[in-house]
Structures are given as structure tokens and as C-alpha cells.
Amino acid sequence: MSDPPLDEGWIERELALEYPHLRLVSIAAPVPERRAAPGLRERLALLSDRFHGARALALRREPVPAAYRVFFRHIGLDPDVQRTPVEAAALERLVRGGFESRGPLDDAMLISLVETGVPVWALDDERVDGPLGLRAEAGSSRIVVADAAGPVAALFGDVEPRCRPGRGTQRLRLFAVAAPGVPAIHVEEALFGCFDALTEGG
């Protein structure tokens, strides 16, 4: 199966001026089977073996995780309190002794995160109203992922209930937010890697 087209998100003018290399990119993806494929569980086990304590401790000095840490501080988040997604995954792996399978969608997003350092989120595509973008929330400095109807997710946070995938979801919208300094190739690899894991079962 060929890669789906990448959809470049819009960035509110004030944010674009402040963070000229900030990006949001998304793709459409099919809904996976409810049970995680054996291939996904095997990939998580292999990643658990490769992602040992020394790698986790050195993670924040790698270029992509470091770029997210810098951006977190620029937008008022302390990455030592609210950890970047890949650091949070690394910490959970150390605490639990491995990456745990939580279903095909969560597994696919976790695999792409650990392999690239770029977090991917999923929305119910049919509940998204128009193109996705980034803007400051009205009356606040908080940045949100939004569509024409309003916020769909907090930046690096939870997806709003109206767009959260569920049992009735027919198609997914995967999106990634690239902090300044994160190469485009890593963002594409994260999205396409997640797509491939969903469509091929790992």
C-alpha cells in the first residue's frame, strides 16, 4: 500500500511569527482491528529490549527529544514536571519493565514515538471539521490543536471527547506536531510508521 498524502496544518499568524518552524502535519488512516496483532506486540517487546536504562537516561540529549524539551520551556511547560511524550514513554518502560500492549492504535502510536521521538495522536476523522491547525486558545496563552469548530486537543495533551476515536469510528486522522528543530523526515517517518503499523499489523 502506498503512503497516504500528508496534509500540512495551518498555524495562527502570531504563533507562526513567534515559532517560524513550528509545524502540524496529519494523514488519514484506517481503523485497525480491535485486537493487537502479534506483530505489534513483538515489535514492542523488541523495543523494550533495546530501550534499556542507559538509553533512557541519555534520551534527553538526543536531537529530537532535546528539541521538544526546548520547545516545552518556550511555551511555559517544565519538561522535568510535564515530561515530553518520548521521555514519559521511556520512564514508563523503566517502571513497568517493558512497553505494554494496550491495543493496536495505542501500540502503533507508541512504536512510532519510540522509534522516531515524534509523538503521534489520533482523532476520529469524520468528527474533524476542516483542516487541523495550531492557535492560542481564546483568552489564554495555552496553545491548542483546532479545527473550524474549535479545539480538538491540547498541545501535547489529551484529545477532546468530541474527536476521540471510539467504537463507531470509521477512519482515523493521525497528526504530529513538529517542534522547531525537529527535521521533517522524522515527522514523516512517525506518521507513515504509525500508518504502516495500523495497516500491516506491525
Position 25 confidence tier, pLDDT thresholds 50, 70, 90: very high
CA distance from start to end of the chain: 14
Q: Which of 136-140, 145-149, 154-158, 162-166 has the lowest mean pLDDT?
A: 136-140
* Distant-in-sequence, close-in-space partners of 56: CB < 8 Å, separation ≥ 6: 90, 91, 93, 94
- pLDDT on residue 202: 45
| DSSP H/E element including 24 | strand 23-30
Per-residue pLDDT averaged across 127-152, rounded? Answer: 93
pLDDT, one tens digit per residue, over 7-24 is 999 999 999 999 999 999
- pLDDT on residue 113: 97
Joined grid coordinates for residue 175 = 497528526
Q: Which of 53-67, 71-85, 115-129 has the lowest mean pLDDT?
A: 53-67
Per-residue pLDDT averaged across 178-198, rounded? Answer: 96
Q: Pick 7-200's CATH classification: 3.50.40.10, 3.30.1330.10, 3.40.50.10860, 1.20.1050.10.
A: 3.50.40.10
Beta strands 143-147 and 150-154, pairing class: antiparallel
Percent of the chain with pLDDT over 70: 98
- pLDDT on residue 195: 96
CB 119 within 8 A of CB 86: yes
Position 201 confidence tier, pLDDT thresholds 50, 70, 90: low
Sequence ranges of the domains in the chain: 7-200
Question: For 82, which DSSP code?
Answer: S
In the three-class reduction of DSSP (H, G, I as helix; E, B as strand; rest coil), residue 7 is classed as strand
